[in-house]
Amino acid sequence: MWELPPQDGMRVPAIIFATEALMQAMDEKVREQICNVAMLPGIVKAAYAMPDAHWGYGFPIGGVAAFDPEQGGVVSAGGVGFDISCGVRLLQTGLKDSDLEPRKEALAEALFRDIPAGVGSHGTIRLNPSEMDAMLSGGAQWAVARGYGTRDDLHVIEEGGRMEGADPGAVSDAAKHRQRDEMGTLGSGNHYLEVQRVADILDERIAEGFGLHVGDVVVSVHCGSRGLGHQIGTEFLREMAWVAQQHGIVLPDRELACAPIHSELGRRYLGAMRAAINCALANRQILTHITRGVFARIFPQADLSLLYDVSHNTCKVEEHMVDGATRQLFVHRKGATRAFGPGHPSLPPHLRPHGQPVLIGGSMGTASYVLAGTARSMDMSFGSACHGAGRSMSRHEALRRFGGRRIADTLEQHGILIRSPSMRGVAEEAPDAYKDVSEVVEAAGEAGLAHIVARLEPRVCIKG
């Protein structure tokens, strides 16, 4: 836990969670950006950077900050990110790795055929204007009501599958148009659907509570709000940069554009952002339904139940203890995962004794992890932890260094099947373009942000 004390306009300290090696390798821009975040009005306690932090737009990716609206606190579109509510859900299948192996290639081909992936990918769902607004208001609850999954799924999704306070009217026609044909699609970049095996259990008590055992086959779905979220982020960042001066907000970096939480623009952004959260929850729910259909054809004995779904690009209203008093804060997590500890009332009863599942995605071909939130993280970081490996190399540099076909062939030699519509995309997401996810997770564990529960290894990866 590295503290950068307040200086040059910082209202609070900046704190970075990292091993010494991660700290030395971290982009210098992360320190600059997290110190800039600490200058924003109404910020509480500190500005935080997770062990996977790297340069982002305004906030570093891996940045966490909480703001008090009663102290002039702000909401920042750059503190949420462009891919609003990008997140991960983990499905348990009831299968063992020995069941998967004989039909692994057939499963890879079927998933690749049925799940639209890649830049501009379109699904089979077409939303008219009224259905678009219903989806933006209803989230995963809307999807379940239309036959995409079961009500049991909703109990293990953040917010019960529906973010309250969404305002479809605050979402532009351009954003809605971009999303019209994109429901039930993975998209591109680092998004994926991955079939994995539980390779190692690191906390037997919590793993038993989560129902995880060595050799189990699980499925991770990693995606967000697609074009709609990106459009919302782009539009509001532009508007916030213009309005900030009117509210007397001096920005250390134009990319930190923000608006007072209680302002008209702040309320409008929150309504649009919450609608994008619902879009992401509905999208992952539809992808789950498609995945269940594929498994039912190839593995009739499989039973895909949802362990948990958690987002890592959000701003949420939460109650936290600050200086001995409970305060209602607007917590920004950009490339950071909520990690509430045991006993938190928002958790479903069967998970509450163990803490919230924290799902850490690997970088195509590397391990992923299941963690659990801790009571300590509630005090240290507003109940937040890392979200993945974190890039160590730009996509442009990765494309220059790596060949997608060669990466896919190498991974296949190690028993990992990659299916993607774009070998260029595979090269951009090469495992060596990311930090060591195991080192990042160990840093989070050592810092007390989360307990490390299980390590997952990839078997099939459908890559956008």
Catalogue the active-site residues: 387
Q: What is the CB-side half-sphere exposure of residue 35 using CA atoms within 13 A?
A: 13
Sequence-distant (≥ 6) Cβ neighbours of residue 1 within 8 angstroms = 15, 16, 17, 380, 447
> Can you tell me which residue has the tokens 């259905």?
131
Q: What is the CB-side half-sphere exposure of residue 348 using CA atoms within 13 A?
A: 19
106: left (phi over 0), alpha (psi -120 to 50) or beta: alpha
Structure tokens belonging to residue 402: 């790596």
Residues 73 and 43 sit within 8 Å (Cβ to Cβ): yes
